[in-house]
Structure 1
Amino acid sequence: MQHTSKYTELNITDGEKVENFSFRPLDPNQDVELLYDWMHQKHIAPFWKLNLPLSELKRWVHHSAEAEHKDCYIGTFNGEPVCYLIAYSVEEDPIKEYYDDKQGDLGMHLLIGPRSYLNKEDGLSIVRAMILFLFDRYNTKRIIGEPDRRNRIVIPILKELGGEVLGRVHLPNKEAALIAGEKEAVFAKLREKNIDVTIHTSMTVPGNELV
């Protein structure tokens, strides 16, 4: 569907700490070298399996950006690009065959690019920002993730943020932990920890988005 792209800023206040995030639609031409660097990192390559030659990765990036059932984003943390995020419609994805899906479920794939941010504190902040962005952007009540079951950093973070492990699923390219994040549970965690969030969205340029 053809819609107006949106640039979103999140300010997350946790005690005296203020974290600034932003999310913008993927630019398949400008961002391919950034993704090339990230996909060849040792903490990413075994899970995404996209440590390809640049020419092949370019084709993959353009194919992803043009897909009608998903949207792709680059996220920054205090001005530095730190993550790649894919939001996809569960209704149009094979993942719906692996669990009892609900109408409006939104799927997500994510990665944290720089290895220095792959620690519990920064990782928690970045993944939390991605999830809050998706809830705001798509007005969904549940987000579905299916990280590789070997991922010992992302899975604990998703659980700490209010995610529930529905079980283990055998996908064509991996064995995954299927995790559901109910909006009410995620926001209950924010209230429990007295975390405040403000979100500002501005229009940018036309693009393909899910809603």
Structure 2
Amino acid sequence: MRPRTGTAPAVGALTLRPVDPLTDAGLLHGWLTHPKSAFWLMQDAGLVDVERAFMELAADEHQQAHLGLHDGVPAFLVERYDPAHRELVGLYEPEPGDVGMHFLVAPTDRPVHGFTRAVITTVMTDLFADPATRRVVVEPDVANTAVHALNATVGFVPEREIQKPEKKALLSFCTREQFERAVSA
């Protein structure tokens, strides 16, 4: 798969490329076990656990992981999944064109103003670049109020709380039209 590139004028070039589980595991381990990444629930994961998780993800036809680069430097992680087969099976009624998404901005001591919003906008633009995508589905932890606010800026509307095995989550949806309205406002 060819890397996909976008530009966020305020922050620079944002590029997506598939995660290489063996090459990227060390980097991702550092991100996923960082205290700022607590909502990813991998605080106690070892390097081999992260490598194994991304190898399983890479082998799964219903999921993909991409590493996001900021001006060529790894800066965020995106996971795309089919909610009819992963994550939300039995927790809601999926519709044709639903795509599930997770994203993580790498922890940093030098945050760039507007970067996280540029990342989620880039991710959503990439997801909706596929004409088959009608709606993006997310299920962040109910306690993750920062991501709820960020999701709202790109058009997500919460539907209800759901109980997943690992967390209580806020099931939220964003249609193509909601996204386009939100980013054009």
Whether the 8 Å contact between 1:120 and 1:157 is mirrored in structure 2 is no
Cα shift readout 1:51-101 (whole Å, capped 9, x = no counterpart): 312122221221111111111100012322111111011221251422232
Within-5 A mapping of 1:40-119? 40-44=33-37, 46-51=38-43, 52-116=45-109
Relative to its length, the structure with more strand (as a share) is 1
Aligned equivalents of 2:149, 2:111: Cα separation in 1: 13
Q: CA deviation at 1:116?
A: 4.1
Whether the 8 Å contact between 2:36 and 2:107 is mirrored in structure 1 is no
Residue equivalent to 1:22: 15
Within-5 A mapping of 1:165-204? 165-192=158-185
What number of residue pairs does the alignment pair up?
184
Whether the 8 Å contact between 1:117 and 1:123 is mirrored in structure 2 is no
Aligned equivalents of 1:160, 1:56: Cα separation in 2: 33
What value does the CA root-mean-square deviation take over the aligned residues?
Answer: 1.9
| Structure 1 residue runs of 4 or more that deviate by more than 6 Å after TM superposition | 117-120
Aligned equivalents of 1:20, 1:124: Cα separation in 2: 14
Whether the 8 Å contact between 1:112 and 1:118 is mirrored in structure 2 is no
Match of 1:161 among 151, 154, 158: 154
Q: Is 72-81 or 160-169 further displaced after alignment?
A: 72-81
Paired residue type of 2:40:
W
Cα shift readout 1:112-135 (whole Å, capped 9, x = no counterpart): 112347677221111111111111
TM-score (norm 2): 0.90
Paired residue type of 2:3:
Y
TM-score (norm 1): 0.80
% identical aligned pairs: 23
Cα shift readout 1:9-56 (whole Å, capped 9, x = no counterpart): 01234xxx3631100011111100111110111011x22222312122
CA distance change for structure 1 residues 138 and 62 in 2, over 3 Å: closer, same or farther?
A: farther
CA distance change for structure 1 residues 18 and 83 in 2, over 3 Å: closer, same or farther?
A: closer
Q: CA deviation at 1:144?
A: 0.2
Stretches of structure 2 that go unaligned for 5 or more consecutive residues are: none
SS at match of 1:91: coil
CA distance change for structure 1 residues 20 and 94 in 2, over 3 Å: closer, same or farther?
A: closer
Aligned equivalents of 1:146, 1:118: Cα separation in 2: 25
Stretches of structure 1 that go unaligned for 5 or more consecutive residues are: 193-211
Aligned equivalents of 2:131, 2:53: Cα separation in 1: 24
Match of 2:4 among 2, 8, 18: 8
